[in-house]
């Protein structure tokens, strides 16, 4: 039986300071939770689900420690959720700290103070789609374990490693890796050859890329404007850039 103390603990994980303190995060919904369980990349701490979900997934449940599984009703789930409408399953997983390997010879993403959870989650999915395994984030970027980010990744967090660091200092050490900064005044991505290695930097939704980071970029690139929109959504821009400069003509 789920106790009041456990309920309060799960609710606390909606706040970053408690996620950082406990090293835990929340995943919600049938597809997302199943993906995390099947991938086995993150240790399951607690799973709360309605009876029908547990029964439908009995084969998967048989592989888990029964002490981590709690049958709850929809009222309890609605008290745990970060979403407008609660799903029929919610799970708590142990997060991971990654050591970033050498990025030489690889394509990776870098996010400078990205703030929107939806953008972050979508960018992680985009990286997964194009086979990009690593994303380096500034320390002020939105937490990749934010429940809304986890939900938006739709399980891609299992396959993309995220590192938070001082990206100016990080870039200073990447002397053999080309760095492509997405700016409004850069070279058109349609005039560029396909690339097989490099760091692609996406800036803050409203402020763009910090000047100190721009100084360390080896190339500035842009998506040419045809219409009259002032800007593109950060995640949309990321998808267009990656598709064009990594896949070629």
Which tens digit of pLDDT belongs to each residue from 162-186? 999 999 999 999 888 999 999 988 9
- Rounded CA-CA distance 161/97 in Å is 9
pTM of the model: 0.92
Average pLDDT, integer, range 218-244: 91
Percent of the chain topping pLDDT 70:
99
pLDDT tens digits, 93-139: 999 887 777 888 999 999 999 999 999 999 999 999 999 999 999 99
The whole-number pLDDT of residue 82 equals: 79
CATH for the 4-94 domain, from 3.30.479.30, 3.30.565.10, 3.30.1960.10, 3.30.1330.30: 3.30.1330.30
Q: Does residue 247 register a pLDDT over 90? A: no
Strands 161-165 and 69-71: unpaired
Strands 89-94 and 44-49: antiparallel
pLDDT tens digits, 62-92: 999 999 999 999 999 999 987 777 789 999 9
Give domain limits for the chain. 4-94, 107-247
More confident residue, 18 or 248: 18
CATH architecture of the region 107-247: 3-Layer(aba) Sandwich (3.40)
Which tokens go with 53?
């979900």
The whole-number pLDDT of residue 206 equals: 86
Q: Does residue 109 contact residue 144 with C-beta atoms inside 8 Å?
A: no
Give 99-164 as a DSSP string.
Answer: -----TTSEEEEESS---HHHHHHHHHHHHHTT--EEEEETTSPPTTSHHHHHHHTTGGGT-EEEE
Q: Does residue 248 register a pLDDT over 70? A: no
């Amino acid at each position: 039986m789920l106790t009041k103390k456990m309920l309060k603990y799960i609710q606390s994980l909606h706040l970053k300071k408690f996620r950082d303190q406990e090293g835990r995060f929340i995943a919600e919904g049938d597809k997302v939770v199943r993906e995390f369980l099947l991938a086995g990349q993150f240790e399951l701490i607690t799973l709360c689900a309605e009876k029908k979900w547990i029964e439908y997934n009995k084969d998967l449940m048989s592989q888990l420690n029964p002490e981590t599984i709690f049958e709850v009703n929809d009222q309890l789930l609605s008290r745990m959720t970060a979403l407008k409408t609660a799903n029929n399953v919610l799970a708590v997983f142990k997060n991971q700290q990654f050591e970033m390997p050498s990025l030489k010879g690889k394509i990776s993403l870098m996010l400078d103070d990205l703030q929107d959870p939806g953008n972050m989650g979508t960018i992680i999915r985009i990286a997964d789609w194009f086979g990009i395994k690593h994303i380096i984030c500034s320390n002020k970027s939105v937490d990749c374990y934010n429940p809304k980010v986890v939900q938006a990744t739709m399980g891609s967090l299992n396959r993309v490693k995220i590192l938070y660091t001082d990206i100016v200092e990080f870039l200073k050490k990447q002397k053999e890796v080309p760095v492509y900064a997405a700016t409004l005044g850069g070279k058109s991505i349609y005039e560029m050859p396909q690339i097989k290695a490099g760091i692609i930097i996406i800036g803050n939704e409203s402020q763009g890329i910090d000047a100190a980071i721009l100084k360390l970029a080896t190339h500035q690139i842009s998506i040419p404007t045809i219409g009259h929109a002032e800007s593109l959504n950060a995640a949309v821009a990321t998808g267009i850039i990656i598709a064009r400069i990594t896949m070629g003509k």
